[in-house]
Structure 1
Amino acid sequence: MSATPMESLLRRVMGDRPRTAMIEVADRCNENCVHCYQIQGQKGEMSTEEVLDLLEQLQRAGVLFLTLSGGEITLRSDFLVILQRARELRFVVDIFTNGLRIDRQLAEEISKHHPRIVEISLYSSRPEKHDWITRVPGSFERTTAAIAFLREFGVPVKVKSPIFSVTYDEHEELEALAEGWGALMNWDTSLRAREDGDRTPERLQPAPEKVDAFQRKVYPSTRTVDARDPVGPVCKASKVLHIEPNGQVHPCSMLQVPLGDVRDGLVAGTESKDARFLRQLVWRDLPDCSRCAIANVCSRCHAQALNEVGDALAPYPSACANAIRRWQEVTGKSRAATDSGAVGPFDVVEGRLERKARAPLTEAQRSAYQDHPWLRKVARGAGPRVEPGQLVQLRRPGRRANTEAVPK
């Protein structure tokens, strides 16, 4: 749970100021991925001049690491102009793309600006499954060609993919593809709700026991049961500057809380009441999670808590289930002496987990909910899990629900 030496050094030098920023430059995409959290075409985009001015602001604010993303960033005609200026300002630049527009010429141009890495989404080792996920025929061939072009010109590439129920058994094939290109491979074992709260993406995840088995196989645990620092940060919300295509500053890509607009200056987004609250929020401020005996192996998310239980500061089912599995793994002790799917806080009683009663709110906690009403909302259900071979109703981003045949 302790910070890395580099993180400790940066914290001493820069304090709590964000050192990392992500700009979602484009509000459009040439894919319509079934699991995507973004809703395209509703925000609008900053002009070239506004984006370049934003880069200057970020440099003055001391940001070191910059991710350029979308939507699909390469759909912007000024993509290379933005990339060039970002490198001139000495940012360490990562690029997120689906690769559909990257041909040999564009790959060569990108290589001239030396990004730290280009992250490309590839969802399956089988073209028909990848193309079903993206809803773009031929996208597998175009994306894999883009990876090859980038590697040809020496650009570091990270292939990334969530784990879907329809691709669960393919991780070795995908890793072999990445290795063949000389690329890194990164897996995401959770799918999150969309910007509008729609939880359709969560339906595409494998069953929890399959996710757990995958994590044990691909990421052998190095966790220990160290004590959770009660004044340690809960997550990275507001530690990273997340800027929407229209210039709005959000705490992160998942938490839809407008903090300000970069056209009014970065201070509007970094020093607003909500930004300061999130930046200063620590584990002991959480009414129940702060009392949980397995908080030290919990990776909770304010946005997911809102989506699952309607309370950003509360325990929620998926985080508690993951924490129980991690606790069991690192301690070798038995599972909870409570019902499956129970939500914390928990106590350890004779080597087993028992659920604690919820605690009454303190005055400070009541004030937090009053001062920041977005901390609570009406939660939505996720719906039944989608399995290979089913005929199901699915809602893609920005679309009405349609009946789709899920690949086997």
Structure 2
Amino acid sequence: MHDLIVSPFLDDYLVVRPGHASGIKIPLTRFLELKRAFDEHLESPVWLVDAARRTWNAEVGGLPADETLLVRNPSPYGYGRASYEINKGCDYDCPHCYLGQKKFEGLNWEHKAQLLEIMRDAGVLWLQITGGEPLIDRLFPMVYTRAHALGMMISISSNGSQLSKPPILDLLTKRRPYRITLSVYGATAATYDGFTRNRGAFDRFTRGLSAAREAELPVKLNLIVADDNAHELGAMQALAEQYGFPHQTYANMSPTIAGGSEPLPTQAADFLRQRKPFGGCNAGHTFFHADPFGVASICKVGRDPNIRLIEEGVEGLRRLGEIADSLMLRTGGCSGCSLSGTCWTCRPLAKLYQEAKAPKRTYCQHSER
């Protein structure tokens, strides 16, 4: 099992370590030097041994490079990040969820492994595994282990309900993730269990927090504020501070991915935040999203048109940039908008709001004119 990953990342070359946020940027010449050491079973050069010791207190000297490093090949596709919705199934039934109907379905192991290899070949170094709730997928341990072996820095978006279970905790301790992001739905059992519509959920969540803290896992908390739990925001912040995990607050809900309006009434009006003007993003160009069936889209919001990666392979991603550009055009009621320069909503998200027949004030400045 590798200690360090040496990889191209967009226009750069990086040395990173699973489970750590810090990294080292290196020039092409040193990347090629490490590639040669890796391929020819040579020891890592002294400069890397010293840098690894300074950066992570890691010892990689005295051994062949291929026993401590994983050196990834350059990719012609230009993707550095991806998210993988391993399954839409979830053990919670939260009213704010943007997935809408949460069916438990997806690829078999053979095709999951194929999808991960496609992501590797596309250049993906940072991979987010999400759901639904990813930790309840019976193939999650195999997916996580394979992604780690392929040299990906893995983040997990979870509700934390399974985090204290020994098989999961052991996996994440031995092969440490880059980050685990946990959603917080309340600070008491009554509020948390009521919001998730799952009895005992708060107890399982706090056991997960304790287990993660004990294992020193890199956890970050998202405090989800809705109408039903807004009264506990202060207590949720105190809970995060009690466990010593960094946190941020989310209050703006979006329609479902099918354009359903169900999540919008759950918003706590007093906590909604004005979004910053949308200045473009890298969706579809250096980032992509894959759903449970290996269908690639520019992001979790703009899901159509898409590319069926299991059928087309990595070559299919060559069309994704053009799809991204077409989806970002201001069409469907936004063409010629005089406020487009300060619009705070990307076009795919605005389309979902329009399909949900949401009040214009939730996504458009024209409601204020």
Correspondence 1:100 to 2:161: yes
Picking from 341, 344, 353, the partner of 2:367 is 341
TM-score (norm 2): 0.70
The residue number in structure 2 matching 1:276 is: 322
State the partner residue of 1:167.
229
Distance in 1, Cα, partners of 2:347 & 2:175: 36
| TM superposition shift of 1:275 | 4.7
Conserved 8 A contact 2:258-2:352: no
1:193 aligns with 2:241: no
Q: 1:40 to 1:204 in 2, by over 3 A?
A: closer
Give the direction of change, closer, same or farther, for the CA distance of 1:104–1:74 in structure 2 (3 Å limit).
closer
Report the 3-state secondary structure (helix = DSSP H, G, I; strand = E; otherwise coil) of the residue aligned with 1:341: helix
Post-superposition offset of 1:236: 3.2
Kept in 1: contact 2:9–2:123 (CA 8 A)? no
The answer to whether the Cα contact below 8 Å between 1:270 and 1:276 also exists between their aligned partners in 2 is no
Give the Cα–Cα distance (whole angstroms) in 1 for the partners of residues 326 and 10 of structure 2. 14
User: CA, structure 1 residues 11+62, in 2 after alignment: closer, same or farther (shift >3 Å)?
Assistant: closer
Q: After TM superposition, give the deviation of residue 50 of structure 1 in Å.
A: 1.2
For 2:299 and 2:265, locate their aligned partners in 1 and report how far apart those are by CA, in whole Å: 22
Find the partner of 1:300 among 320, 326, 345: 345
Does structure 2 conserve the Cα–Cα contact (< 8 Å) formed by 1:158 and 1:183? yes
2:300 is the alignment partner of 1:253: yes
**Quick check: 1:66 aligned with 2:127?**
yes
Does residue 287 of structure 1 match 2:335? yes
Separation in structure 2 between the aligned mates of residue 166 and residue 141 of structure 1, nearest angstrom = 19
Other-structure match for 1:86: 147
For normalisation by structure 1, the TM-score amounts to 0.64
Q: State the match for 1:45 in structure 2.
A: 106
Question: Partners in 2 of 1:112 and 1:189 — Cα distance?
Answer: 35
Q: 2:174 — aligned with what?
A: 112
One-letter amino acid of the structure 1 residue matched with residue 80 of structure 2: R
Tell me if structure 2 keeps the 8 A contact 1:122–1:140. no
Query: 1:39 offset after TM fit, Å?
Result: 3.9
Residues 198 and 58 from structure 1, CA distance in 2 versus in 1: closer, same or farther, beyond 3 angstroms? same
SS in 1 for 2:154: strand
Change over 3 Å in CA distance of 1:319–1:95 after alignment to 2: same
Distance verdict in 2 for CA 1:259–1:78, change over 3 Å: same
Q: How many residues align?
A: 295
Tell me if 1:123 matches 2:164. Answer: no
Distance 1:43 1:154 in 2: 31
Amino acid at match of 2:244: G
Residue pair 2:128, 2:154 contacting (<8 A) in 1 also: yes
Q: Note the alpha carbon deviations across 1:157-214, whole angstroms, 9 max, x for none.
A: 111132212222332221211122121212223111112221111101122x5424xx
Q: Residue by residue, what CA displacement relative to the aligned partner does 1:264-306 show, whole Å, maximum 9, x if unpaired?
A: 234465233x6513147768997334x427x34x431323311
Alpha-carbon distance between aligned partners in 2 of 1:18 and 1:40, rounded to the nearest angstrom: 30
Match of 1:369 in 2: none
Deviation at 1:93, TM superposition (A): 0.4
For 1:260 and 1:154, locate their aligned partners in 2 and report how far apart those are by CA, in whole Å: 38
What is the identity percentage for the equivalent residue pairs of Structure 1 and Structure 2?
24
Question: 1:154 aligned to 2:216?
Answer: yes
Do the aligned partners of residues 269 and 161 (structure 1) sit closer, same or farther apart at CA in structure 2, a change above 3 Å counting?
A: farther
| CA–CA distance in structure 2, aligned partners of residues 125 and 204 of structure 1 | 18
The structure 2 residue matched to 1:143, chosen from 205, 218, 233, is 205
Preserved CA contact (<8 Å) 2:225 2:271: no
Displacement after TM superposition at 1:41 (Å): 5.3
